Amino acid sequence: MAEEKAPTTTQFPGTIEPQKPRLKKAPEFPILEKQNWLIHLHYIRKDYAACKALIKEQLQETQGLCEYAIYVQALMYRLEGNIQESLELFQSCAVLNPQNADNLKQVARSLFLLGKHKAAIEVYNEAAKLNQKDWEICHNLGVCYMYLKHFNKAKDQLHSALQLNRHDLTYIMLGKIHLLEGELEKAIDIYKKAVEFSPENTELLTTLGLLYLQLGIYQKAFEHLGNALTFDPTNYKAILAAGSMMQTHGDFDVALTKYRVMAYSVPESPPLWNNIGMCFFGKKKYVAAISCLKRANYLAPFDWKILYNLGLVHLTMQQYASAFHFLSAAINFQPKMGELYMLLAIALTNLDDSENASRAYAEAVALDQSNPLVNLNYAVLLYNQGEKKKALAQYQEMEKKVTLLKGSSSLDFDPEMVEMAQKMGAALQVGEALVWTKPVKDLKSRHRTTSANKSSNLQQPLGSNQALGQAMSSAAGFGKTTQLPAGAGGASQFSKPPSLPLEPEADPAEAISSEVQEQRETQKSSLAPE
Amino acid sequence: MANIHTFSACLALADLHGDGEYKLVVGDLGPNGRQPRLKVLKGPSVLTESPLPALPSAAAAFLMEPHEPRTPALALASGPCVYVYKNLRPYFKFSLPPLPPNPLEQDLWNQAKEDRIDPLTLKEMLEGIREKAEVPLSSQSLRFLHLELGEMEAFVAQHKTQPIRRQTVITTMTILKKNLADEDAVSCLVLGTENRELLVLDPEAFTVLTKMNLPSVPVFLEASGQFDVEFWLTAACRDGNIYILRRDCKRPKYCIELSAQPVGLVRIHKTLVVGSTQDMLHSFTHKGKKLWTVPMPAPILTMSLLEQRSRGLQAVMAGLANGEMRIYRDKALLNIIRTPDAVTSLCFGRYGREDNTLIMTTRGGGLVIKILKRTAVFGEGAGEAGPPPAQALRLNVPRKTRLYVDQTLREREAGTAMHRAFQMDLYLLRLRAARAYVQALESSLNPVSATLREPLKLHAVVQGLGPTFKLTLHLQNTSAVRPAMGLLVSCLYNESLYALPRAFFKVPMLVPGLSYPLETFVECLSDKGISDVIKVLVLREGQSAPLLSAHINMPVSEGLVAA
């Protein structure tokens, strides 16, 4: 066949016919683009070794004139992380073919990756002159402006990118800008549109779910997170967020099954082990809880939320000395939270250091804005120390907070706390605290985890045993020595849903005031990876 | 090994001899893409083999005319030409029409031909054209622009008589039915070229029937419909977009932006399935609306259509880099075929006398042929459904130990005492640390001077095995601007053990920031294998209190011990 072929080709009537005689006079130039298709095929198949060999050969043959070969070489350099080299090659492409907007776009992209956003913007603007209707240019310009913090310009560019062509990435960036500006509602609108456009993008679904979570719209949050998990049952963020919601509702076993998937794929995630620990805590498996939390702490030693939870669990286990260490470490990382000081005070009270305990309470009261528990616990301590007047002041402060909270949301207060407060009111001979009447009726018998343990906490300072304390607490009118089972303070659960939404991103502000709330923490940590 | 290195585009199945026995046509690139060959296979063996002038970019079998015998012709795209074979004999060679050269460029070279223009001016003018013109320069001019000054004259002399030409190459090829939808109807060739055009060729005369423009270079091409009635062309391009063109429009009608490079394109009825470099399969309607996305476990290397006519099944096959070949119907995974090597090209259809045959070639040059059982039915659910397997694994939580329980109990009993003891020790520790620090400051025992006026840093290195050691003191002035002058160094040591030639010397002026190495030799006088501390003091002239000091623990002199 080979022999046949050669003669036949010359007989082909065709366009090459007239060139034949000239071939002898001067060497013909190879077609510069002749191997481009093969270079491209190797490149998209990620067969970089073959691609490089071919490019080298091609560049030798054309003496470096093959624009596409240089272009792909530059792309591969960039993939390998040699951004500076890739930039130089792209620039030489732009010299070979100044009319091609693609070359300029890649130059700009490399500049962007090198962090030279202003230079990148200039080059993108050049490219935009060559190609008006390119979403990529608009999108990347928007991203550059975002990093330069020109949010308005960035939004304009991203919106025009969306008008040219809709891409998930553009939606994500636009949403991010709104979040950076603190406009949660607008971000949600953007993500809603994005989910409409591409309903199977798990990243979009998860982000939207987390945003709803921050706003406290749990139904929608769970819906979107659930959707994300349907499409990708191993999605890290969605599992963490959905799991933490389950924990809030007490579905510890379901949450644990979900976490197992993650523990397999991401075994070194601190928030994961924190959440697992708090699941065990909810199931009253304290030893397992401690070991999981300690693992989380080992993985993220500077995370105060984990330390907070560790402190809480140790308080529950009556290991006050350990609790003290974890809590004081947490305070070192997060010195602005009243509840932490309150827990520290409880630990100190149990360690017979009432002097430091009252200092810690004073700090807690000064920092805390809305948690009546802090004041109640302080009142109990003051009362036990015999400082009735100060105790009364704290008690009144607590009543104020309770009235405020009742006005703002329909929470039910922890029954133990309510009971404690009533006893305290009686002991202080304040008129039967009307504040409580309503909530008491509303109380659901929520499962309280370890509050029983805790209630014993504060008794100890009074030097009486728990049974006695409880027995006596019913007789409210006793003197100082009466134990108001101050425990309520330590243990009561006080749910503050509004706390969560306040932090838009990573910063999970609120530690949980009591054990049941820990799960909340977990959510926060789950938000953190964003 | 069959030693076949090719892509899916270069595989075609056809009844080349009209005897009902389907052959496999392979445009083989050869190992390392050096020996392009046309191979025709029957069963597992090569029937004929012939060398090709250039690397083949696509192969297709198509019917040229409606007359009997209806044996299909074979078209092989390579470089700027399509080679057409009939009965496996060369029949026709079609070359892409040359592109019109830039008129300005043409004009310049004509002037050069008549020697009315010198090479330098020519170069400048050509540069100008390159900067602005719509039509790119020919390779001759581009080559000329890259020449050094000395070479230009000769180049012009050699090439000025040659007309300038611009030639493009074929990047992809497919077939489109001419006017009937039948299985064996006359088909046109559709070519995609490097200069962003799609050409439809007449099957008999090989003239260009229509020409369409694309915004980018096509990589993969799919055609449906009939040329004379209504047709759709789908082109996946190098800019990562997929353009959909219809009859009677010269420009793309719809555009799908992938934001990644497409690695394969398959059309099933009215839906498109595209594999992207992000390891995803995307599906779109023929109007560009996104339908679904399925992630792949590894990069996709190639894709092809699986069509089982007897059961009306159409599915997408994707060869992955991890050696799997996955078959999808819509989103549902139908089957996974594991191969010993990564599959680089795929083809499904009638081979030999068997209707449903799967042909795969692997990266190492292997050829795998699988025949589908005639009774086989593809069922869904072969893929991973339900919860991921990791959900059943137990969490790795350490067990409760005896020690842990004991310690917990002890803490519960004696928590207060532990806390107090700890606090007490902590205070003591702090006190001691503070005391030691104050003492060090007072006696200048530290290697960093405490006075603000003379911020100095000293660090000493001892080199050697003994009995002679070299002691190097690195002295640095850490103040921002002020040089340190009038400093002295004094060494205190046990004179029965060590001898120093210079135990007391002046320090040169210390410029801020630089580290000054001061060297001195130390001779060990003892042969008993004992060592001692040498104290180095840095002093200010006229002051007896040292600014700083260092205690150097001398090593044992090994030289003497060994002797």
- Whether the predicted pLDDT of B433 surpasses 90: yes
* Segment B305-348, tens digit of pLDDT: 998 888 888 899 999 999 889 999 888 888 888 988 899 899 99
For residues A365 and A353, is the Cβ–Cβ distance under 8 A?
Answer: no
Q: Give the pLDDT confidence score for residue B562 in this predicted structure.
A: 53
Summarised one tens digit per residue, pLDDT across range A252-295 is 888 888 888 888 888 888 888 999 999 998 888 888 899 999 99
- Contact state of B387 with A233 under an 8 Å Cβ cutoff: yes
Cα nearest neighbour of A98 on chain B:
B131
pLDDT of A381 > 90? The answer is no
- The minimum CA-CA distance between B436 and chain A, rounded to whole Å, is 26
User: CB–CB of B50 and A63 under 8 A?
Assistant: no
Distance CA A463, CA A483 (A): 9
Cross-chain residue pair B390–A234, CB shorter than 8 Å: yes
**Closest chain A CA to residue B160:** A26
Give the up-direction half-sphere exposure of residue A197: CA atoms within 13 A in the CB hemisphere: 17
DSSP for A77-109, written as a single string: HHHTT-HHHHHHHHHHHHHH-TT-HHHHHHHHH
Beta bridge pairs of residue B58 = B77
Arithmetic mean of pLDDT, A330-354? 88
DSSP structural state of residue B449: -
Of the candidate ranges A189-203, A348-362, B141-155, the one whose mean pLDDT is the lowest: B141-155
ipTM confidence: 0.74
Q: Looking at residue A12, what is its pLDDT? A: 40
What is the distance in angstroms between the Cα of A347 and the nearest Cα belonging to chain B? 10
Tell me the nearest-neighbour CA distance from B176 into chain A, angstroms. 22
Read off the pLDDT of residues B135-177 as tens digits, 9 standing for 90 and up: 777 777 777 777 777 777 777 777 777 777 788 889 999 999 9
CB atoms within 10 A of CB B344: 24
Query: Helix, strand, or coil here: A491?
Result: helix
Q: Which of A5, A8, A276 sits opposite B395 (nearest CB)?
A: A276
Q: Which of A26, A46, A256 sits opposite B159 (nearest CB)?
A: A26
pLDDT interval class at A404 (50, 70, 90): confident
Give the nearest partner residue to A318 out of B53, B93, B412, using CB atoms.
B412
Record: contact A321-B418, CB cut-off 8 A: yes
User: Is the pLDDT score of B425 beyond 90?
Assistant: yes
Chain A (7-26) residues lying within 8 Å, Cβ to Cβ, of chain B: 8-9, 12, 14-16, 19, 22, 25-26
Residues of chain B found within 8 Å of residue A346, distances taken between Cβ atoms? none
Q: With a CB-CB cutoff of 8 Å, which residues 451-510 of chain A face chain B?
A: none
**Cβ distance of B396 and A263 shorter than 8 Å:** yes
Distance from CA of A257 to the nearest CA of B (A): 6
Question: Considering only CB atoms, which chain B residues are within 8 Å of A35?
Answer: 55
Which member of B95, B162, B171 has the closest CB to residue A37?
A: B171
Chain A positions touching B344 (Cβ under 8 A) are 45
Q: Using CB atoms, which residue from B54, B219, B259 is nearest to A167?
A: B259
Which of A11-15, A229-233, A328-332, B500-504 comes out lowest in average pLDDT?
A: A11-15
Contact A34/B54, CB-based, under 8 Å? yes
pLDDT band at B559 (very low <50, low <70, confident <90, very high): low
Mean pLDDT of B38-66: 87
Substitution target in B160, B276, B408, B420 with the highest count of A β-carbons within 10 Å is: B408
| Radius of gyration of the CA atoms of chain A, in A | 33
Query: pLDDT confidence of A412, banded at 50, 70, 90?
Result: low
Which of A38, A233, A321 comes nearest B55 by C-beta? Answer: A38
Q: Are B192 and B144 in contact (CB under 8 A)?
A: no
Is A233 in Cβ contact with B168 (below 8 Å)? no
**How does residue B453 score in pLDDT terms, banded at 50, 70 and 90?**
confident
CB–CB contacts below 8 A, A to B: 193
Q: Give per-residue burial for B413-440: e unless 16+ CB within 10 Å, then b.
A: eebeebbeeeeeeeeeeeeeeeeeeeee
CB contact under 8 A, A264 and B412: no
Residues of A in contact with B415 (CB under 8 A): 318-321, 350-351
Q: Which residue of A has its CA nearest to B319?
A: A45
β-bridge mates for residue A250, sequence order: none
> A37 vs B259: CB contact, 8 Å cut-off?
no
Confidence of residue A227 (pLDDT cuts 50, 70, 90): confident
Confidence of residue A387 (pLDDT cuts 50, 70, 90): confident
What is the average per-residue pLDDT within B467-473?
A: 88
CB-CB neighbours of A53 under 10 Å: 14
Cα of A178 vs its chain's centroid, Å:
16
Q: What is the DSSP letter of B481?
A: S
Closest residue in B to A61 (Cα) is B143
End-to-end CA distance of chain A: 64
pLDDT-derived band at B78, boundaries 50, 70, 90: confident
Q: Which residue of A has its CA nearest to B29?
A: A38
Q: Between residues A507 and B459, which one has the greater pLDDT?
A: B459
The pTM of this model reads 0.69
Q: Are A373 and A417 in contact (CB under 8 A)?
A: yes
Q: Please say whether the beta carbons of B461 and B474 come within 8 A.
A: yes
How far B193 CA sits from the closest chain A CA (Å)? 10
Task: Kindly list the residues from chain A whose CB atom is less than 8 angstroms away from the CB atom of residue B301.
Answer: 45
| DSSP classification of residue A369 | S
Q: Cβ–Cβ of B169/A324 closer than 8 Å?
A: no
Q: Which two tokens stand for residue B146?
A: 């890259």
Q: Which 8-state DSSP code applies to residue B464?
A: S
In this predicted structure, what is the pLDDT of residue B381?
59
| Mean pLDDT of the region B189-214 | 89
Instruction: Count CB atoms within 10 A of the CB of residue B44.
Output: 10
Whether B13 has a pLDDT exceeding 50, the answer reads: yes
**Mean residue pLDDT across chain A:** 73
The answer to whether residue A446 neighbours chain B at the CB level (below 8 Å) is no
Whether residue B139 and residue A65 make contact (CB cut-off 8 A), yes or no, is yes
Peptide bond into B467 cis (omega under 30): yes
Contacts of B354-358 with C-beta under 8 Å, sequence gap 24+, read: B355/B309, B355/B310, B356/B308, B356/B310, B357/B13, B358/B306, B358/B317
Tell me the CA distances in angstroms from B186 to B68, B191, B316, B505, one per residue in order. 12, 16, 26, 103
Arithmetic mean of pLDDT, A50-73? 86
pLDDT of residue A105 exceeding 70, the answer is yes
Distances B304 to A156, B167, B221 between C-alpha atoms, Å: 41, 31, 12
Strand order in the sheet with B197-201: B208-213, B197-201, B187-193, B170-177, B218-226, B230-237, B241-246, B254-257
Query: Which of A 45-64 lie inside 8 A of B, CB atoms?
Result: 45-46, 50, 53-54, 62-64
Nearest to A4 among B89, B394, B400 (CB): B89
pLDDT of residue B388: 67
Q: Which residues in A lie closer than 8 A to residue B387 (C-beta atoms)?
A: 233, 261
Spell out the domains of chain B, with CATH numbers in brackets: 103-160 (no CATH), 173-178+186-257 (2.40.10.480), 448-553 (2.60.40.10)
* CA–CA min distance A226, chain B (Å): 13
User: Which chain B residues contact residue A26 at CB under 8 A?
Assistant: 158-159, 161-162
Q: Residue B69, preceding bond cis, omega within 30 degrees?
A: yes
